[in-house]
Amino acid sequence: MIEEAYEAVASSQNILEKSQINSAKDLNHFCSELGDVLLQIFLNSQIAHENNYFNIKDVFENINHKMISRHPHVFQKGNYNVENSNDVVTLWEKIKESEKEKNGDIKYPKKVSLLKKAIKKNSLPTLNFGTEISKSAWKLGFSWQTINEIFQDVILEVKELEDELVHNEFQLEKVIDEIGDVVYALCNLVNFIKETRNEASSIDFDLIARASFQKFINRFDEMENIMLENKTPLDEESAKKLTLDQWNDLWKKAKKRRYR
């Protein structure tokens, strides 16, 4: 399900990134990918049905009930003082809490978790989840106040990673811990930019990383093109014979060509 969802997102991102009018091929591909996601819903529902848990009809009824009960400003009469999207989210959360109280899911006195909204999003891609945690902390005031402070924290975490890799006796557990700290520091940086720059409000850390991965793939593909033009196509055997200097030379040439 995760793989199919990622493919659907990648397809939609491809459409969004194109400046020209989207082709029928691109739109059909996106449509096809959404179908693959939908198929996962049906497959999981069928497995549940065969084990006498629930069926696809229950899935439909469940989401219908949820949408109606949590959007009374749309489906019911009355004044709910809903004027914008933030009010919708606030109303949604209040109704969810009341449902939990009715079901006995909340014990009193209850602990107030200030990060609960972000924690509930732990099914997001890892980098986006980290950004959501940072966003919640930032809104509470537990964050650096300037982009320079944020960036210096990134540098500090990288320096601590360097110490564990180079200057201290290598201990895998500590190295892994420091790598994680570097990633979270970058989550803080991405979130700070999102929150303080209007034009950056919709950036997505996971897609940022994927774009970087794709850039590497594109440049590597260009290196293969260069070798092919030189009548020495790259394969596993010939690649192993290249020196680091030769690889670097190829990389520099690839950067100057199509993919920048």
CA dist., res. 213 & res. 205, Å (int): 13
Predicted local distance difference test score (pLDDT) of residue 105: 62
Answer whether the bond into residue 109 is a cis peptide, omega within 30°: yes
Contact 127, 187 (CB under 8 A): yes
CA dist., res. 155 & res. 182, Å (int): 9
Residues 21-25 have a mean pLDDT of 75
Kindly report which listed range (115-129, 150-164, 193-207) carries the lowest average pLDDT score: 115-129
Please write down the HEC assignment for all residues of the chain: CHHHHHHHHHHHHHHHHCCCCCCHHHHHHHHHHHHHHHHHHHHHHHHHHHCCCCCHHHHHHHHHHHHHHCCHHHHCCCCCCCCCHHHHHHHHHHHHHHHHHHCCCCCCCCCCCCCHHHHCCCCCCHHHHHHHHHHHHHHHCCCCCCHHHHHHHHHHHHHHHHHHHHHCCCCHHHHHHHHHHHHHHHHHHHHHHHHHCHHHCCCCHHHHHHHHHHHHHHHHHHHHHHHHHCCCCCCHHHHHHCCHHHHHHHHHHHHHCCCC
Tokens of 55: 């069926």
Residues 12-33 have a mean pLDDT of 80
Distance of CA 64 to the CA centre of its chain: 27
Q: Is the pLDDT of residue 36 over 80?
A: yes
CA dist., res. 35 & res. 191, Å (int): 32
Going from the C-alpha of 170 to that of each of 78, 154, 162, 179, the distances in angstroms are 65, 21, 11, 13
pTM: 0.66
CA dist., res. 50 & res. 33, Å (int): 26
pLDDT tens sequence across 141-154: 888 999 999 999 99
CA dist., res. 10 & res. 3, Å (int): 11
Distance of CA 185 to the CA centre of its chain: 16
CA dist., res. 181 & res. 183, Å (int): 5
CA dist., res. 210 & res. 188, Å (int): 18
Contact 128, 190 (CB under 8 A): no
Q: Is the pLDDT of residue 188 over 90?
A: yes
Residues 114-140 have a mean pLDDT of 86
- What's the chain's average pLDDT? 87
